[in-house]
Each structure stands twice: as structure tokens, then as C-alpha cells.
Homo-oligomer: A and B are copies of this chain.
Amino acid sequence: MFTNLSKSTMTKTTDIAHISERQMEIIEAAGKILSESGVSGLTIKNLAAEMGFTEPALYRHFKSKEDIIIAMLEYLAADIDKRLIPITSSNHTPEYKFKQLFTEQFRFFSAHPHFAVAVFSDGLLEESNRINQSILKIMATKMKHLMPIIMEGQQRGTFTNEITTEELIHVVMASFRLQMFKWRLAHFKYDITRHGENTIQSVLTLIKSKK
């Protein structure tokens, strides 16, 4: 046990920097509940049951329910960032990178459908301001990667210059979001990677420069 010298002030929030194995298990259990029962199903009781132990045990690993959700969102944001960096920083054409960016995302959510509920559900949005910020951070992360691809495409004349970069991004992100929303409504029944590829192709056709 070491003396708490730096950092100090004993922040009320759970430390997010390093997530323990148990914390990761809890985050995954929370995700499973989210995908099966939605935001309203994500209660401490259900979460403890999913983990196979009692409710107070959860509080050995997280200070509050809010902290569990935020840890999940922060992890998600970091993971998405990590996955998209190699794509964005590659040397391929904007069109290729564009396709890859979304293929990767669809693949990710296909493997972890519960995260789709977390990010695209504004049910979470109103829970607290901190959660709000975390969700916005995820959206910002995606934009961070999408923006340079779109801009480069416009400069090269691959993507249309008839509308601004912001407007292009809006349409692209919107199409992705609605796709995820529909998938969720269908309870993740169909293959999102297949449907996703289709949407990517359509959107790409639309935003390509008119000869």
C-alpha cells in the first residue's frame, strides 16, 4: 500500500486508465444486457445476476452504475480509435479508405452488437451529463477519422465538391446511424456486414463526383 501523493483529491470517479479483468467482464455483461433488454434492462440487479454474483459485489469494482456505463463508453471510444487509425493513416485512395472505414465498423458491431445499443441509443443520453459527453466523444472520434478521408477525396476530385465537407459527412454519418438503428430494431437478426456493404456502396455512388 503506497501513499496517495500525486493525482490526489480522491476523485469520485472510478479510475478508467487501467480496467481490471473483472471490470472488463462487467462491461461485457453490461453490453450483453444492453443488446438483449436495452437501456431500461441495464439495472444493477440484472447486471449482478448476469455476472453470477450479488449486487454489492459490483460496487467493489465500480463506484456507481454511471461509472460502469462510462467505462464501457470510454473503452469503446478507445477501441474504435485504435481500429480506425491504421485505416486512416494508410496510403490508399480515399474511396478505398472510405470503404474500409465502414467495413471495419460494421464488422466490429457485428461482433459486439451490444455496443450498437450503447452508442445509438439516446436512452442513455439523458442519464447524466458525463455519459452524454462520452457518447459525443465516440461520435467525435468517428468524425476525426472520416473528415480527412472526405476532404482528401474532395481535393482529388473523387468526391463531389457541390456540397461542403460538413454536409457530406452529415449524410454519410446519418446513413450509417440509420443502418444501425434499423438493425437494432430487427434485434440484430440479419447480417449487418452484408447489408452494410450495400449501404456503403450506395452512399459512395451518391457522393462520388459527377463527371
Shortest beta-carbon distance, A125 to chain B, in Å? 7
Shortest beta-carbon distance, A91 to chain B, in Å? 28
Contacts of A162 in B (CB 8 A): 205-206
Residues facing B in A167-203 (CB within 8 A) are: 167, 170-171, 173-179, 181, 184-185, 198-199, 202-203
Q: A171 to B175, Cβ gap below 8 A?
A: yes
A25 beta carbon closer than 8 Å to chain B:
no
Contacts of A177 in B (CB 8 A): 174, 177-178, 181
In the docked arrangement, what's the CA distance between A211 and B173, Å? 26
In the docked arrangement, what's the CA distance between A202 and B171, Å? 9
A160, closest chain B residue (CB): B206
A148 beta carbon closer than 8 Å to chain B:
no
Q: Number of copies of this chain in the oligomer?
A: 2
A3 beta carbon closer than 8 Å to chain B:
no
A126, closest chain B residue (CB): B38
In the docked arrangement, what's the CA distance between A199 and B168, Å? 10
In the docked arrangement, what's the CA distance between A122 and B178, Å? 12
Q: B174 to A40, Cβ gap below 8 A?
A: no
Contacts of A125 in B (CB 8 A): 38, 123, 185
Contacts of A198 in B (CB 8 A): 167
From B37, B164, B175, A174 is in contact (CB under 8 Å) with: B175
Q: 8 more A-B contacts (CB under 8 A) besides A120-B122, A160-B205?
A: A123-B126, A162-B205, A163-B202, A170-B179, A170-B199, A171-B206, A174-B175, A175-B175
A contact set with B: CB distance below 8 Å: 37-41, 120-123, 125-127, 136, 160, 162-164, 167, 170-171, 173-179, 181, 184-185, 198-199, 202-203, 205-207, 210-211
Q: What are 20 contact pairs spanning A and B, CB under 8 A?
A: A38-B126, A121-B122, A121-B123, A122-B184, A123-B126, A160-B206, A162-B206, A163-B202, A167-B199, A170-B175, A171-B171, A171-B203, A171-B206, A174-B174, A174-B176, A174-B178, A177-B177, A206-B206, A210-B210, A210-B211
